[in-house]
Structure 1
Amino acid sequence: MFSSLKTLKFTFINFNSSRRFCHEITDGIQVYSYRHKHKVPLVLKNPLYSSWYTCGPTVYDSAHIGHASTYVRLDIIQRILRNHFNINLVTCMNITNIDDKIIKRSHETGKNWKLLAEEYEAEFWEDLNKLNVQHPDIKLRVTDKIPEILEFIEEIENKEFTKIGTDGSVYFKTTCYRNYGKLHNVVLDDPSTAEFALWKAAKENEPYWESKYGKGRPGWHIECSTLASLIFGSQLDFHAGGIDLKFPHHENEEAQSCVYHNCGDWVQNWIHTGHLHLKGQSEKMSKSLKNTICIQDLLKEYSSDQFRMACLLSHYRSSIEFGPELMDTADKILKRLNSFKSDVKAFMNGLKVDGYIDEELLGSQFFECKKNVDLALKDDFHTAVCIGHVSELMKMTSKMINSTDNHLSSNSPAFDKVLLQSVLNYIDKLFSTFGISESNSSKETCDKVHIENVIDSIIKVRNDIRIRAKESKNKEMFIICDEIRSKMKENQIEIKDHGNLSSWTKIK
């Protein structure tokens, strides 16, 4: 994109100087500020786009559902900003493909570190696809930007914020940065203990790159500062990750980036998602604690929509207690959504003749729901509150559709059907905004529904009809049995009758 950080920095300065105002386009959106410890108005500096950087994975192993909850929740917020608030969001994510953990796993498995990282990165993107998480607009890998990282370090060194360790590693001197701890309120008895590596001297049998400091590789924190700066320059609107990254990773990023860019605040809005932990456990899900469930195993038991709905049912900054109760609740809401859509379509097609739409009541409830959903999303993206309001609207609407009061007219005016369709359109669009996919929301998992069990049930019902037909000598019932056998054969299932019993086989 740019030949160097200096070139990019110059470009951004020229662009910023041509802008004479701070353009607020957020219309009352409030986000939580870790600096102020309360919600503040969301203000975007650029009228053309909003910048978003997400800390990506360290690709040394399969991702687990703790990671999944972070990326799904961040995906939900990005979709809300784009599709509900119409903000032109440009997103970027890094891939950490060189790190202590990657090197350790390489030594343990005997697999080349680069091939190992490539394998798990490919798996990570496939996991995101299965979770219906939109890929970032821009993807950057650490090893592709080593020269830019070294240039970033040298600029910090020029400003006298570094020191060289005995092994040749380069460290950031937190004692020189007076605002250190503004995100985490960290108080250090010995500030020197918070010094962190910008460049790590190579050890024996480790991959390395040449530099003026000697052979080595980047520290963890410097990579995100460099890569985000390469794309977005001296200011980011959003920087996101799990709450476990707030300290030390994001604290260190902010410190070194403010020094590099000579600015008071590098990131305007830090977005941190709460931990996911298994029901009955207080610790976050972590590979080191061996309490993880990989994403592939999750999707064997639940659909991606069920997991996404589970994420929607709490505020993104809250922790998630993962277990059967939460997933059952998520599943019930999705089934309620599908049942509602089915009822509305049946009513619109004249299949529910007893229903009656109270235009005034439905219109009032619809208006209140839209207003409250908008307020909840403006209140730091509170999706759980939205689900509650929409559930109430669906409940009341379904009650009208399924009404059996004889004194109410079954011939609803055309306007009532327009109002009903507009309710359905709104709910469809809202859940689509949240990333709930219609094709997946009604999907049951293979473990829960076996096609053989469904066929067995159909055969049993048909067999019961045959027995009653024989007892009553009812020809019409026999005709129904023949029609079932014919339809099943069209779907490659052959039914054979054996007296009072029946069997079936798949037609090859």
Structure 2
Amino acid sequence: MSLLRRVNFNLSRLSKRTNCHGIKTDINIYSYRDKRKVPLVLANPIYSSWYTCGPTVYDSAHIGHGSTYVRLDIIQRILRNYFNINLVTCMNITNIDDKIIKRSNELGKDWNLLAEEYEIEFWDDLNKLNIMQPDIKLRVTDKIPEIIKFIEEIEKKGYTTISTNGSVNFKTSAYSKYGKLHNVVLEDVSTAEFALWKAAKENEPWWDSKWGRGRPGWHIECSTLASLVFGSHLDFHAGGIDLKFPHHENEEAQSCVFHNCNDWVQNWIHTGHLHLKGQSEKMSKSLKNTISIRDFLKDYTAEKFRMACLLSHYRSSIEFGPELMFAADSILKRVKSFKEDVKAFISGAKIDGYVNEEELRKHFQESRNNIDEALRDDFHTAACIGQLSDLMRLISKTINNVDKKNEQRSSNGNEKALLYAVVNYIDHMLQIFGIGDEIQFSESYDEGRMENLVNSIIKVRNDIRLRAKETKSKELFQVCDEIRQSMRENLIEIKDHGNLSSWSKVK
């Protein structure tokens, strides 16, 4: 297959669907089940599903989190913009959890307000890092009834136990494939269980259920939310390597039971840890070795951080320090210097150098081939950056080589067009990785607060509306109409759908 056809890869050129495994591509991806690279398999040619485990919003995000989301953003951009795969992405927000409750008690602040504040800050941090926001965002507390139904279905199939305090647990010993991601020896988990529903403790937030007052366990949240969007199959499920066990192992077990399938997720993607230079532990709030994204961006740009993430394979760890950031900065400066040199050479301002068109064409083609192979080899961005750097270095050397100025130059006159083609290609590849984009701050901190305020108003109105329907109260219906009219006057349109309501901005 020609290079042009390979670069313009799309799902219509995939091999035929197999009976069991969907559509195979000519991309290889690391499989945690097989412990080796395998062909990337997608469920259908129309779109591909991607779910990312989002944050537990109890504190500011740090650059360890940032490196995970930047690396996943890079892979998503490659799939979308290089391989032309129609990727639909979803991320959850864990806005109720032990850590949130503990932090709210420490600060003497309502847990819900605390979670809202840090969620707004999280989305703002992602914007500042030029990370594409997910197509679909889901908050745990918005889907409690669905989570309860998910647990009830697992219970019906005989995979749960009830603890003495009323919590509902998943019985791992009943699931024969437990350990498929992490090589857990079944004898070690014969008595191990994890919480699906946590019985409420005194002075903690709770929701009613058939098992009594309580709240969801951590693992069941992602299984339910991802299933609500994508059903019984996920093409991609992503997060940091620390989530592989127990979080993703538990997700896979309970989801396979719920959906009655052998494998819920086809391709797990885990990013390596970021740790400070000289330390072996990952960056963690509990270890107090973190640098917040906001503090980091006071000293470095988002583009330099993204380049730093590109300089290693996404599954590898990142040793963060001045040396790494210097290397990232040097490459970005090299790109700028290279483009200035080429511009000067083409305009005639740089007359000493020489371009051998045949050699340039050969090296350009080799670089394109090598980059294409690297991207198909489990998204090896470090190899791509190396190829781009080598190509720029070779061209800069020739157009700045004064020893060539008096040599006979045999050329078809196309070397300038070819140089432009190289510059365009380098720009294009860097843009695919998210370098050189104009960062769009689509949701500022204040805008995020305003969205939460509108959501709160809609929720209160919806509660009033449900009460009005139950009691057939004209007065309460009138209140709902007045709220709708007031919101419309402030350019917010409310639409009612059965027992739920939605809103949108009036343009």
Deviation track 1:284-307 (CA, whole Å, cap 9, x = no partner) reads 111001111110111111111111
Closer, same or farther: CA 20–190 of 1 in aligned 2, 3 Å: closer
- Inter-partner Cα distance in structure 1 for 2:115 and 2:94: 9
Is residue 228 from structure 1 mapped to residue 226 from structure 2 by the alignment? Answer: yes
Q: Are the equivalent residues in 2 in contact too, given 1:132–1:304 (CA < 8 A)?
A: yes
Supply the distance in 2 between the matched residues of 1:409 and 1:259 (Cα, whole angstroms).
74
Shift of 1:337: 0.8
Show the counterpart of 1:363: 361
- Matched letter for residue 162 of structure 1: T
Question: C-alpha offsets along residues 261-299 of structure 1, whole Å, 9 cap, x if unaligned?
Answer: 000000000000001100000111110011111101111
Rounded Cα–Cα distance in structure 2 between residues aligned with 1:139 and 1:93: 5
Q: Quick one: distance in 2 between partners of 1:433 and 1:426?
A: 11
Give the corresponding residue for 2:456: none
Give the corresponding residue for 2:48.
50
**SS in structure 2 of the partner of residue 90 of structure 1:** strand
In structure 2, C-alpha distance between the alignment counterparts of 1:238 and 1:257, rounded to whole Å: 14
2:347 — aligned with what? 349
CA distance in 1 between partners of 2:335 and 2:438 (Å)? 13
- Alignment-mate amino acid for residue 124 of structure 2: E
**2:273 is equivalent to residue 311 of structure 1:** no
Provide, for residues 38-91 of structure 1, a one-character-per-residue CA deviation record: whole Å limited to 9, x for no partner: 000001111101100000000000000110010000001000111111111110
User: Residue 288 of structure 1 corresponds to which residue in structure 2?
Assistant: 286
Partner residue, 2:493: none
Deviation at 1:416, TM superposition (A): 1.0
**Equivalent residues of 2:357, 2:411 under 8 A apart:** no
Distance 1:283 1:193, change over 3 A: farther
Shift of 1:403: 2.6
Q: C-alpha root-mean-square deviation of aligned residues, in Å? A: 1.8
Q: Is the 8 A contact 1:353 1:410 kept in 2?
A: no
Secondary structure of the residue aligned to 2:141 is: helix
Aligned-partner Cα distance in 2 for 1:408–1:395: 21
Match of residue 320 from structure 1: 318
Task: Name the counterpart of 2:11.
Answer: none
Contact 1:355–1:410 (Cα < 8 Å) also in 2 = no
1:401 aligned to which of 399, 402, 406: 399
What is the alpha-carbon distance in structure 1 between the residues aligned to residue 299 and residue 267 of structure 2?
Answer: 36
Note closer, same or farther for the CA distance 1:39–1:190 as it changes in structure 2 (3 Å cut): closer
Give SS of 1:39's match: strand
**Identical aligned pairs, as a percentage?**
73
Corresponding residue number in structure 2 for 1:470: none
The residue type paired with residue 416 of structure 2 is K
CA displacement at 1:430 relative to structure 2: 0.4
Listed one character per residue, the Cα deviations across residues 161-217 of structure 1 (whole Å, up to 9, x for unaligned) are: 011111111000001000000100012544244300000000001011011110000
Deviation string 1:424-455 (CA, Å, 9 cap, x unpaired) is 11100000111112668xxxxxxxxxxxxxxx
Q: Which residue of 1 aligns with 2:432?
A: 433
Does 2:174 match 1:172?
A: no
Q: Is the 8 A contact 1:59 1:96 kept in 2?
A: yes
Q: Per the alignment, in what secondary structure is the counterpart of residue 209 of structure 1?
A: coil
Match of 2:475 in 1: none
Offset, 1:242: 0.2
8 Å Cα contact 2:353/2:399 also seen in 1: yes
Aligned AA for 1:169? S
1:219 corresponds in structure 2 to 217
Superposed displacement of residue 21, structure 1: 8.6
Decide whether aligned partners of structure 1 residues 200 and 397 sit closer, same or farther in structure 2, where only a CA change above 3 A counts.
same
Report the alpha carbon displacement of residue 341 of structure 1 after superposing the two structures with TM: 1.2
- Conserved in 2, the CA contact under 8 Å of 1:62 and 1:123? yes
Query: Moved runs in structure 1, 4+ residues, more than 3 A?
Result: 18-23, 408-414
Cα contact 1:53–1:91 (8 A) shared by 2: yes
Residue 384 of structure 1 pairs with residue 382 of structure 2: yes
2:128 to 117, 127, 130: 130
Are the aligned partners of 1:22 and 1:46 in contact in 2 as well (CA < 8 Å)?
no
1:200 match: secondary structure:
strand
Per-residue deviation, 1:410: 8.3
CA separation in 2, counterparts of 1:25 and 1:178?
28
Q: CA deviation at 1:409?
A: 6.4
Alignment of 1:143-158 (within 5 A): 143-158=141-156
Q: For residue 497 of structure 1, what is the aligned residue in structure 2?
A: none
Equivalent of 2:298, from 300, 303, 318?
300
* Counterpart position of 2:23: 24
Matched length: 422
Q: Deviations over 1:88-123 (max 9, x none)?
A: 111000000000000001101011111100000000
Tell me if the contact between 1:73 and 1:316 (Cα under 8 Å) persists in the aligned partners. Answer: yes
1:189-338 matches, cutoff 5 A: 189-338=187-336
TM-score by length of 2: 0.81
For the residue of structure 2 that corresponds to 1:43, the secondary structure is strand
Aligned partner of 1:419: which letter?
L
Letter in 1 for 2:107: T
Secondary structure of 2:183's partner?
coil
The equivalent residue for 1:373 is: 371
Give the letter aligned to residue 430 of structure 1: M
The CA deviation string for residues 129-184 of structure 1, in whole angstroms up to 9 with x for no partner, is 11111000100000000011011000000101011111111000001000000100
CA–CA distance in 1 between the matches of 2:408 and 2:84? 41
- Structure 1: gaps spanning 5 or more residues: 1-17, 441-508
Letter in 1 for 2:424: N
| Aligned amino acid, residue 405 of structure 2 | N
Alignment gaps of 5+ in structure 2: 1-16, 440-507
Q: Distance in 1 between matches of 2:322 and 2:438?
A: 23
Contact 2:27 2:40 in 1 (8 A): yes
Which digits, 9 at most, give the CA deviation of each residue in 1:205-236, with x for residues without a partner? Answer: 10110111100000000000000000000000
Q: Distance in 2 between matches of 1:91 and 1:284?
A: 26
**SS of equivalent residue, structure 2 residue 49:** strand
* Partners of 2:54 and 2:92 within 8 A in 1: yes
What is residue 418 of structure 1 aligned with on the other side?
417
Kindly provide the CA deviation profile for residues 461-499 of structure 1, in whole angstroms up to 9, marking residues without a partner as x: xxxxxxxxxxxxxxxxxxxxxxxxxxxxxxxxxxxxxxx
CA 158–114 in structure 1, closer or farther in 2 if over 3 Å, else same? same
Tell me if structure 1 keeps the 8 A contact 2:101–2:204: yes
Q: CA deviation at 1:19?
A: 11
- Higher-Rg structure is 1
CA gap 1:317/1:360 in 2 versus in 1, 3 angstroms: same
